[in-house]
Amino acid sequence: MMQHLTNPQLIDYIHGALAPEEDASVHAHLESCALCREEYATEVALTELLRKQAALEERDMPSTVKAAIWQQIRDARPSPATRILAWLRPAIAIPVAAAIVLAAYFGLHSQQASAAPTIDAAYLLQDHAAMNSTVPFGDRSGADAAELQSGSSGSADETAVNVQPAIYTADAGR
């Protein structure tokens, strides 16, 4: 008669991990040994419980394991100097330099475009009035007064910025 089954034999039998001949021998023994059948039943129940529990919850990786993994990643990362040297390889450095130059050009260009100069309308109105001086019965007293009131130094550049053309305002009553 076969000796009682060991616990590892029962576990391997449950998981189908035994060789065919041993598997047949264990099966025959369980048919004739009530004690081993009881032990088998206990082991099946325990295995089933563990499977259900594993399905219900994802068990987090132990912190020590995670720490070890991160340490390995850090150990494998290149040093800053190594990375700078890697950027200076021609295959990377040339396109990067070109991109920087283009960005600088277009950035400057757009900045200039956004800061496009303007000419104060008051300056044009004043210049129009001043040019009337040779027209018969025209005079430039209005332009002179506007220039005086503007507080401008009178230079074309400053006039264009500073002129305030409004003069004395009263209801026209018309």
Partner 1 sequence: MRAANAAGAASLAFAVALMCAGAVGAQGAGADGLLREAIDAPNNVSYVGQVQNTEFGQSKAEATIFRIEHDSPNLTRRWYVAPQALYGDSIISRGDTSYNVDIKRNRVIVTKDDALDDQVAQDDNFNLLANNYRAVQGADETIAGRPAASVLLVNKYTGQTVLRVWIDTQTKLVLQKEQYSSNGSVTRQMRFAQIRYVKDVPDGSFQIPTTGFTRVQGASHGTPSNDVAGAIRTAGFQARGPRYLPEGFTPIAADITTIKGIRTLHLLYSDGIRTISLFENARGAAVDLSKYTVHPATVDKQDAQYVQDGPTMLLAWAESGLHFALVGELSEDELSKIASSVVP
Interface contacts to partner 1, rule CB under 8 A: 113, 116-125, 127-142, 144-145, 147-149, 151-157, 159-161, 164-174
The angle that helices 80-87 and 90-114 make with each other, rounded to 10 degrees, is 80
Nearer to partner 1, 30 or 142 (CB): 142
Least distance in Å: CB of 123 to partner 1? 6
Which candidate, 140, 138, 162, places its Cα nearest to that of 150?
162
Collect contacts of 146-152 with beta carbons under 8 A, ≥24 apart: 146/122, 150/122
Least distance in Å: CB of 105 to partner 1? 18
> What DSSP state is assigned to residue 131?
G
Least distance in Å: CB of 111 to partner 1? 14
Contacts of 160 (CB under 8 A, 6+ apart): 119, 120, 123
**Do the beta carbons of residue 35 and residue 5 sit within 8 Å?**
no
Nearer to partner 1, 35 or 172 (CB): 172
Q: List the structure tokens of 62.
A: 């132990």
**Do the beta carbons of residue 132 and residue 121 sit within 8 Å?**
no
Least distance in Å: CB of 110 to partner 1? 13
Nearer to partner 1, 36 or 160 (CB): 160
Least distance in Å: CB of 103 to partner 1? 23
Nearer to partner 1, 78 or 138 (CB): 138
Nearer to partner 1, 25 or 149 (CB): 149
End-to-end CA distance of the chain: 133
